[in-house]
Structure 1
Amino acid sequence: MVSFEEIEEVYKRLEGRLKPDEFKSMVEEKVIMMNGLCDSKTAAMLVASELGLNETIKIKDIAPDKGGVVFIAKVISIGDIHEFSRSDSSTGRVVNITFADDTGSIKAALWDEASDLVKIGDIKMGQSLKVKGYIKEGQRGLEVNVGRGGNIEHVDKAVAVNLEPMKINDIKSGMSGLNIIGRIIDTGKVRAFQRKDGTTGKVTNLTLGDETGKIRVTLWDSKAESADFKIGDTVEIINGYARENTFSNQIELQLGSGGNIMKSNTAVDYSETFTQIADIGINSAYSVTGHVSGLDEIREFDRPDGTKNKVSNIYVSDDTGRIRVALWGEHAELVNELDIGSEISIIDAFAKPGRNEEIELSAGARTRIQVLRK
């Protein structure tokens, strides 16, 4: 049963359009219909929206207490349609779309019949739409839910979008709804993996740079499969979210089905920052440049899972010091190409305590190595 106290605040906005018991009954019916996907207050907001609380507002004015809202905005990203099973054994569908206007952006979840508009191609990137839904606090902030009682209409006018990109150096862990423009300075291979539910996912990585720094970007599933980018391309990322990698202690950007990545014609300046060897600390990634002052042989070994791997060690020196660098996997073969005195740049190697408590660098899958002169 729904407590009227929980929905009284929403009821007051109806300004006497129906009796309290009638409103409560409609909310209880909505809770049952949504099959536990929303609480009583959210159901009350949806009912209020259906009753006509639908003044058009700007995205920046959308707040938790607005309940049902109507806004006109442009589609800037479309996610994948996900199917799920309800407790009554019926199948539900949902897709996430990011909308933007000249005041900001917001994510919208389109449920069931509303999600079919994406499936049949009625909703596409760049369209201007009038959206009617209700507000809910999501995992990464406010979002609009469009289900029964909601509505999507095409609007025959252009919507100006003002998405100010964030500089890479200003990104902090936990931020969401991030928009950045950067130049691709490294790409990775698309990898398949098994989820806990037995389905197969796809993932790949890019590294982007701007004039303030660089950041590793992880693309998931359809974004990974469609990632047709090369080093040197400039791209714009819309609706990413940031989190800290507990291994590298660095902030990384994640781009799932609710985000988007596209090529951009914007000019972006980037130059790699190299650290002098004497200034390297532990438990962080560094880029160094210098000459090879020592070479060891390749050593093969068995991993705990029974597969084989290989490693070799080199020593790199600059004007401030000398450091041991462990080259793992494919990097290990580099010792066959180098000589004492070869000039080399090692980008994004992880620093950790080594022999005799000396700091050493570990060059793994995330590391790029450039031989400047053999």
Structure 2
Amino acid sequence: MRVVLWNDKTNILESGELKVGDITRFSHAYTGEGFDGNVELHVGDKGVIEVIEINPKDVENRDYPTISKFATKIAEITRKQKRVNTAGTVKELFSTHTFKRRDSTTGKVMRFLLTDETGEITVVVWNDMVDRLKNVLRKGAKLRIINAKVKKGLANNLEIHVSSGTYVEPVTTEEELSRIVDLKEGLKHVNVKGEIATKPMFRNVKTSRGENVKLAVFELKDETG
């Protein structure tokens, strides 16, 4: 849901007190229809914004999904989505180009290739965001992209576009962990955390190349499986 802050309520964003990923309670707000026909939450002069810090009695962080739970896998991105949240690793960076707008001002654009275990997609970065991300974008960097536009590229392939309304941040190792229930055959670069549930079993096996190797096998569990 889109949230719209009015007048002095925008100060909480400008000061950095409210940031992406925060668990937040909105009180005395009201709803309205946005320009795209979807319901928006509006916070005006009578509204109250409260950033939840450390698990008060009636709120626990575990009751709320993290942003990563709303990320769309690259292979699942479609043109119908219009806006998308996704995450992945920077595979390749391309040069920055400048261009002249119709009003004779100069703009900037650059592209990079983002990949995850399901596929890859071109990310197009526009204008001020090119400068903002210059210290973040590097080959191998793991990023989360929030509220990017989905568009068709020149070759009819899908692209995601990053502009002033998009949030991009590095992803920490902890946030990259997969849940056991989400694992399936063929995934690469998988990070998972769990509890060892059985005593390890050791055995010697011979590979297809004729090499003798030692294996240790045990069961791992988390809250999902």
Asked if TM exceeds 0.5, the reply is yes
Given the superposition, is the C-alpha separation of residues 127 and 240 from structure 1 closer, same or farther in structure 2, using an over 3 Å criterion? same
1:147 correspondence with 2:49: no
TM-score by length of 2: 0.59
* Larger relative contact order (CA 8 Å, sep ≥ 6): 2
In structure 2, the partner of 1:110 is 5
* Among candidates 102, 110, 124, match of residue 204 of structure 1: 110
1:88 alignment counterpart: none
Distance verdict in 2 for CA 1:155–1:206, change over 3 Å: same
- Out of 112, 122, 136, the position equivalent to 2:17 is 122
TM-score normalised according to structure 1 size = 0.38
The SS at the match of 1:225 is helix
Partner of 2:32: 135
Shift, 1:192, TM fit:
4.1
User: How many residues are aligned here?
Assistant: 164
The answer to whether 1:256 aligns with 2:163 is yes
Q: Secondary structure at the match of 2:129?
A: helix
Which stretches in structure 2 are left out of the alignment for 5+ residues? 56-60, 178-186, 190-225
Contact 1:223–1:260 (CA<8 Å) still a contact in 2?
A: no
Hey, what does 1:231 align to over in structure 2?
Answer: 139
Structural mapping, 1:1-374, within 5 Å: 106-131=1-26, 132-139=29-36, 141-157=38-54, 159=61, 160-162=64-66, 163-196=69-102, 200-227=106-133, 228-245=136-153, 247-264=154-171, 265=173, 266=176, 269=188
1:161 is aligned with what amino acid? P
Task: Rate the CA distance shift 1:225–1:165 in 2: closer, same or farther, 3 A.
Answer: same
How big is each residue's C-alpha offset from its partner over 1:11-69, in whole Å with a ceiling of 9 and x where there is no partner? xxxxxxxxxxxxxxxxxxxxxxxxxxxxxxxxxxxxxxxxxxxxxxxxxxxxxxxxxxx
Deviation at 1:217, TM superposition (A): 0.9
Is the Cα–Cα contact under 8 Å of residues 190 and 225 in structure 1 kept in the other structure? no
Q: Distance in 1 between matches of 2:18 and 2:127?
A: 21
Q: 1:255 to 1:217 in 2, by over 3 A?
A: same
Task: Give a deviation string over 1:282-328, Cα, whole Å, max 9, x none.
Answer: xxxxxxxxxxxxxxxxxxxxxxxxxxxxxxxxxxxxxxxxxxxxxxx
Assess if the C-alpha contact under 8 Å between 1:175 and 1:243 holds in 2.
no
Instruction: Say if 1:133 and 1:151, in contact at 8 Å, map to a contact too.
Output: no
Alignment partners' CA distance in 2, 1:257 and 1:143: 20
Listed as ranges, the gaps of 5+ residues in structure 1 are 1-105, 271-374
Contact 1:235 1:263 in 2 (8 A): yes
User: What's the counterpart of residue 344 of structure 1?
Assistant: none
Amino-acid identity (%): 24
- Closer, same or farther: CA 144–201 of 1 in aligned 2, 3 Å: farther
The one-character-per-residue Cα deviations of 1:319-353 (angstroms, maximum 9, x if unpaired) are: xxxxxxxxxxxxxxxxxxxxxxxxxxxxxxxxxxx
Q: Which amino acid aligns with 1:169?
A: A
Cα RMSD (Å): 3.0
| Greater per-residue strand proportion | 1
Residues 255 and 154 (structure 1 numbering): CA distance in 2 closer, same or farther, change over 3 Å?
same
Please tell me the residue identity of whatever aligns with 1:118: L
Q: Determine the C-alpha separation between the residues in 1 that align with 2:143 and 2:52.
A: 28
Give 1:230 deviation, angstroms: 1.2
